[in-house]
Amino acid sequence: MRQLGLSGHLRRVAAMLDTTYRVRCADGEVLALRVGGTLPIRRPGALMAEALWLESLQGRPEFTVPEILFSLGADPVLIFEDRMDRPRGVMAVRCLRGRQSHQVHSQPRQG
Protein backbone atom coordinates (compact mmCIF):
# COMPACT_ATOMS: atom_id res chain seq x y z
CA MET A 1 0.00 0.00 0.00
CA ARG A 2 2.86 2.35 0.69
CA GLN A 3 3.93 2.18 -2.96
CA LEU A 4 0.49 3.53 -3.88
CA GLY A 5 0.70 6.28 -1.29
CA LEU A 6 -2.09 4.68 0.80
CA SER A 7 -2.35 3.96 4.49
CA GLY A 8 -5.18 2.55 6.55
CA HIS A 9 -6.90 -0.68 7.53
CA LEU A 10 -6.74 -3.44 4.90
CA ARG A 11 -9.28 -6.30 4.71
CA ARG A 12 -9.58 -9.01 2.05
CA VAL A 13 -13.11 -9.06 0.64
CA ALA A 14 -12.80 -11.30 -2.44
CA ALA A 15 -10.39 -13.88 -3.78
CA MET A 16 -10.76 -15.58 -7.15
CA LEU A 17 -8.64 -14.85 -10.23
CA ASP A 18 -7.63 -11.61 -8.51
CA THR A 19 -7.70 -10.63 -4.85
CA THR A 20 -9.65 -7.56 -3.76
CA TYR A 21 -9.07 -5.71 -0.51
CA ARG A 22 -11.13 -2.96 1.12
CA VAL A 23 -8.95 -0.15 2.42
CA ARG A 24 -10.35 2.17 5.08
CA CYS A 25 -8.02 5.14 4.92
CA ALA A 26 -7.14 7.29 7.91
CA ASP A 27 -9.20 10.16 6.44
CA GLY A 28 -12.33 7.93 6.25
CA GLU A 29 -12.25 7.28 2.53
CA VAL A 30 -12.99 3.70 1.44
CA LEU A 31 -11.06 2.24 -1.49
CA ALA A 32 -10.85 -1.09 -3.26
CA LEU A 33 -7.38 -2.43 -3.93
CA ARG A 34 -7.22 -5.06 -6.68
CA VAL A 35 -4.18 -7.33 -6.84
CA GLY A 36 -3.91 -9.29 -10.07
CA GLY A 37 -3.53 -13.05 -9.87
CA THR A 38 -0.63 -15.13 -11.09
CA LEU A 39 -2.37 -17.19 -13.78
CA PRO A 40 -1.27 -16.35 -17.33
CA ILE A 41 -4.72 -14.88 -18.08
CA ARG A 42 -4.38 -12.44 -15.16
CA ARG A 43 -0.95 -11.01 -15.81
CA PRO A 44 -0.56 -7.24 -15.28
CA GLY A 45 -1.65 -6.58 -18.86
CA ALA A 46 -5.10 -8.02 -18.12
CA LEU A 47 -5.53 -5.72 -15.12
CA MET A 48 -4.31 -2.80 -17.24
CA ALA A 49 -6.92 -3.61 -19.90
CA GLU A 50 -9.61 -3.64 -17.21
CA ALA A 51 -8.40 -0.30 -15.86
CA LEU A 52 -8.44 1.27 -19.32
CA TRP A 53 -11.94 -0.12 -19.91
CA LEU A 54 -13.18 1.41 -16.64
CA GLU A 55 -11.51 4.69 -17.52
CA SER A 56 -13.22 4.74 -20.92
CA LEU A 57 -16.62 4.41 -19.22
CA GLN A 58 -16.02 7.35 -16.85
CA GLY A 59 -18.35 10.24 -17.52
CA ARG A 60 -20.83 8.27 -19.63
CA PRO A 61 -24.28 8.82 -18.12
CA GLU A 62 -25.49 5.26 -18.75
CA PHE A 63 -22.69 3.73 -16.60
CA THR A 64 -21.65 4.08 -12.98
CA VAL A 65 -18.10 2.88 -12.55
CA PRO A 66 -15.52 3.39 -9.79
CA GLU A 67 -12.92 6.10 -10.19
CA ILE A 68 -9.40 4.78 -10.69
CA LEU A 69 -6.71 6.34 -8.51
CA PHE A 70 -3.57 7.29 -10.37
CA SER A 71 -1.31 7.31 -7.33
CA LEU A 72 2.02 6.96 -9.10
CA GLY A 73 1.78 8.88 -12.35
CA ALA A 74 -0.01 8.23 -15.60
CA ASP A 75 -0.53 4.46 -15.38
CA PRO A 76 -3.58 3.15 -13.49
CA VAL A 77 -1.84 -0.14 -12.62
CA LEU A 78 1.29 -0.48 -10.51
CA ILE A 79 3.37 -3.53 -11.46
CA PHE A 80 5.53 -5.25 -8.85
CA GLU A 81 7.10 -8.67 -8.32
CA ASP A 82 5.83 -10.86 -5.52
CA ARG A 83 7.97 -13.05 -3.24
CA MET A 84 8.25 -15.68 -5.99
CA ASP A 85 9.42 -13.10 -8.57
CA ARG A 86 6.10 -13.20 -10.46
CA PRO A 87 4.83 -9.94 -11.97
CA ARG A 88 1.62 -8.72 -10.33
CA GLY A 89 -0.54 -5.72 -11.09
CA VAL A 90 -2.27 -3.54 -8.48
CA MET A 91 -5.08 -1.07 -9.11
CA ALA A 92 -6.82 1.16 -6.56
CA VAL A 93 -10.34 2.55 -7.09
CA ARG A 94 -12.74 4.64 -5.04
CA CYS A 95 -15.66 2.52 -3.88
CA LEU A 96 -19.08 3.41 -5.18
CA ARG A 97 -21.43 4.76 -2.51
CA GLY A 98 -24.30 2.45 -1.70
CA ARG A 99 -22.59 -0.64 -3.13
CA GLN A 100 -21.49 -3.51 -0.92
CA SER A 101 -18.24 -5.36 -1.49
CA HIS A 102 -18.28 -9.06 -2.26
CA GLN A 103 -17.44 -11.21 0.72
CA VAL A 104 -14.95 -14.06 0.64
CA HIS A 105 -16.85 -17.37 0.69
CA SER A 106 -15.22 -20.65 1.59
CA GLN A 107 -18.10 -22.63 0.08
CA PRO A 108 -20.31 -21.90 -2.95
CA ARG A 109 -23.59 -20.19 -2.14
CA GLN A 110 -26.73 -22.26 -2.37
CA GLY A 111 -29.22 -20.63 -4.76
User: What separation in angstroms does the CA of 32 have from each of 17, 24, 53, 69, 93?
Assistant: 16, 9, 17, 10, 5
pLDDT at position 11: 92
108 neighbors 60 (Cβ within 8 angstroms): no
Domain 2-94 coded CATH 3.30.200.20? yes
Residues 1-41 have pLDDT tens digits of 666 677 788 899 988 888 899 999 888 888 888 888 888 77
pLDDT at position 96: 72
Is 60 exceeded by the pLDDT of residue 62? yes
In the three-class reduction of DSSP (H, G, I as helix; E, B as strand; rest coil), residue 44 is classed as helix
pTM of the model: 0.73
